Amino acid sequence: MTEFIQAVWQKLAEHIGHETATFALAIIGSAIIWPSLAWCGGKLLQARDFWRSRQRALGAVGQTQTPDGAREGKGVWTLRPITPPENYKNNVLGSRILAIANLKGGVGKTTIAANIAAHLSHDENWQKRVLLIDLDYQGSLSSMVFPDGQTWLPPKGTDSVATLALSGDVAPSTFLQACKKSPVEPRLKVVTAHYDLAQADNRLLVEWLLNKKNKDHRDLRRKFADLLMGRSYQPSEMRYNLAKLLHSEAVRENFDLVIIDCPPRLTAGTIQALCASSHVLIPTLLDHPSGESVVSFCDQIEGLKASGICPYLSYVGIVASRHAAQQNAWLGVRNEIQDQINLRNLKCGFLPSQTFIPQTVAMVRNSEEGIAYFSLQGSQPAANAKQAIVTLAEHVAAQICVPRVPSFARDLQLVLPVAAE
Ligand code: ADP
Ligand code: MG
């Protein structure tokens, strides 16, 4: 080997001179030595993290000791290191992604997600390309959009699109093809979820805690650039999988607005939704137990924001659903929740009462038939519910800066025939 290098050096020296040859060899040498050292360094870091992964997992789920005995700890989601993707701040602030969340079930999250998506995509003044993401393995949003039975279920032997999206190993173009078009409104597309998502939520948590290395999706040029910059080893980071996908150029170009229906638990899916979203809307019933859950959820969001996991997430606010305006008790509950929120100095408050979705049988019956918005008519309660949905949807759109169709564009559509797909 040394003889070979000497021979090369002598040949070079004959051709380009002694000094230039020494200089050229020094450059070539360091171009080989530095990446090799960086690669070895990366492998050492990987081995170190592998060695520590058990401790890391047990530390994250472990209890804390207090003078009164052991108590549950802070939970797993604030685990360090936190490694958001490149350009994360700009991507979040520049996106229009709304998480609809509350850790309590039955408070109207799914109903509100589907109905405001329906209005903003279908109404001629809005015509937005909306992506609805179902992150609850019960699939109630999916079955609401596709009430005709089985068409939305993942084919036998495959996972649901929600699982693919959270797993972080789907290319944006494949993801876009897998989103299903609503049978009523082609501008509305859905990422469907099914029971495989329950297993995926657990798998993602365990793999991340144990620092399992994911498939490396960087292209060769990127890998080499990272190697030169000493970033050959990237610790496992699952919390931003959905953010990376939804902030990708392909997804941003295809949708004006993304609405994520979260499950009533702090799952891997909920955390990924909060990390990907620019805004969060919190539906609640106006009774005492639901009020407590809103305040506790706000505390959890604040904890996540303060630890740097989703620091740019903003509140749209809190909205009442299944609202019985004629029963005066709701006002007391609303004020109590607002007082608690004010005590904490949070930038979060109740939306105007005109946005509260009234309790009506029309919403229940229609949700089994499809999204209620498309068939709410024929009675005063149905008309009131529709009016509330429209007011809520337009209030949300204004808060997250989704614009209406400009009037000149609407006028133009009346003149020009719509191109067939
Ligand atoms: P979550 O997603 O928070 O669990 P859902 O949207 O699934 O809540 O609603 C829970 C139940 O309440 C469903 O059976 C739904 O049909 C019903 N529901 C939701 N909104 C209304 C409403 N405005 N009036 C009457 N029933 C409603
Ligand atoms: Mg739901």
Domain residue extents for the chain: 2-58, 88-214+236-405
Query: What is the model's pLDDT at position 224?
Result: 80
Taken in order 143, 146, 151, 157, is the CA torsion positive or negative?
A: negative
Cα-flanking dihedrals φ and ψ of residue 403, to 5°? -85, 155
| Ligand 1, pocket-test mutation among 260, 285, 287, 322, most atoms within 8 A of CB | 322
| pLDDT band, very low/low/confident/very high, at 417 (cuts 50, 70, 90) | low
Predicted structure pTM score: 0.89
User: Any residues with Cβ below 6 Å from ligand 1, and which?
Assistant: 105-111, 140, 321-322, 357-360, 363-364, 367
Which residue type occupies 78?
Answer: T
Please report the pLDDT score of residue 335 as a whole number: 96
Q: What is the mean pLDDT of residues 373-402?
A: 96
Q: How confident is the model at residue 100 (pLDDT cuts 50, 70, 90)?
A: very high
Q: Closest ligand 1 atom, CA of 361? A: 25
- Examine the pLDDT at 280 and tell me if it is beyond 80: yes
How far apart, in whole angstroms, are the C-alpha atoms of residue 22 and residue 270? 58
Tens of pLDDT, residues 248-263: 999 999 999 999 999 9
Residue 305 reports pLDDT greater than 80: yes
Query: Mean per-residue pLDDT for 350-367?
Result: 89
Please give the share of the chain, as a percent, with pLDDT higher than 90. Answer: 67
236 falls in which pLDDT band (50, 70, 90)?
Answer: confident
Higher pLDDT residue, 3 or 399? 399
Whether 303 and 271 have beta carbons less than 8 Å apart is answered as no
Judge whether residue 380 has pLDDT over 80.
Answer: yes
How far, in Å, CA of 22 to CA of 119, rounded?
71
Per-residue confidence band for 269, with pLDDT thresholds at 50, 70 and 90: very high
- C-alpha separations of 168 from 10, 192, 213 in Å: 52, 16, 12
Supply the mean pLDDT for the chain. Answer: 91
167 CA to centre of ligand 1 in angstroms: 29
Can you give the pLDDT at residue 56? 87
Mean pLDDT of 370-379: 93
Mutate to test the pocket of ligand 1, among 100, 107, 111, 389 (most ligand atoms within 8 A of CB): 111
Q: What is the dihedral of CA 59, 60, 66, 71, to 10 degrees?
A: -130
Q: Whose Cα sits closest to atom 9 in ligand 1?
A: 108
What region, left, alpha or beta, does residue 401 occupy, with left being phi > 0 and alpha being psi -120 to 50 degrees? left
State which of 267, 364, 371, 379 you would mutate to test the pocket of ligand 1, scoring each by most atoms of that ligand within 8 A of its C-beta: 364
Q: What local confidence, expressed as pLDDT, does residue 185 receive?
A: 97
Give the residue, by CA position, lying nearest to ligand 1 atom 26. Answer: 364
Distances (CA, A) of 78 to 51, 199, 207, 295, 339: 21, 22, 16, 19, 27
**SS3 of residue 12 by DSSP:** helix
Instruction: Please state, in angstroms and rounded to a whole number, the distance separating the CA atoms of residues 310 and 301.
Output: 9
Contact between 279 and 95 under an 8 Å Cβ cutoff? The reply is: no
Rounded to whole angstroms, how far apart are CA atoms 26 and 399?
Answer: 59
Atom of ligand 1 nearest to the CA of 140: 7
User: pLDDT-derived band of residue 235, with 50, 70 and 90 as boundaries?
Assistant: confident
Q: Say yes or no: domain 88-214+236-405 is CATH 3.40.50.300.
A: yes
Residue 365 pLDDT more than 70?
A: no
Quick one: pLDDT at residue 421? 46
- DSSP per-residue codes, 86-110: TTHHHHHHT--EEEE--SSSSSSHH
Using the structure block, give the residue that is written with the tokens 């051709």.
Answer: 15
Q: Are 350 and 338 in contact (CB under 8 A)?
A: yes
pLDDT at 21 over 90: no
- Crossing angle between the packed helical segments 380-399 and 361-369, to the nearest 10 degrees: 80
- Whether the pLDDT of residue 397 is over 50: the answer is yes
- Mean pLDDT for 154-183 is 95
Q: Please state, in angstroms and rounded to a whole number, the distance separating the CA atoms of residues 100 and 98.
A: 6
59/55 Cα distance (integer angstroms): 6
User: In terms of C-beta distances under 8 Å and separation of at least 24 residues, what long-range contacts does 87-91 make, across chains too?
Assistant: 88/240, 88/243, 88/247, 89/312, 91/243, 91/247
Q: What is the rounded average pLDDT of the residues 159-171? A: 96
Q: How high is the pLDDT of residue 30?
A: 85
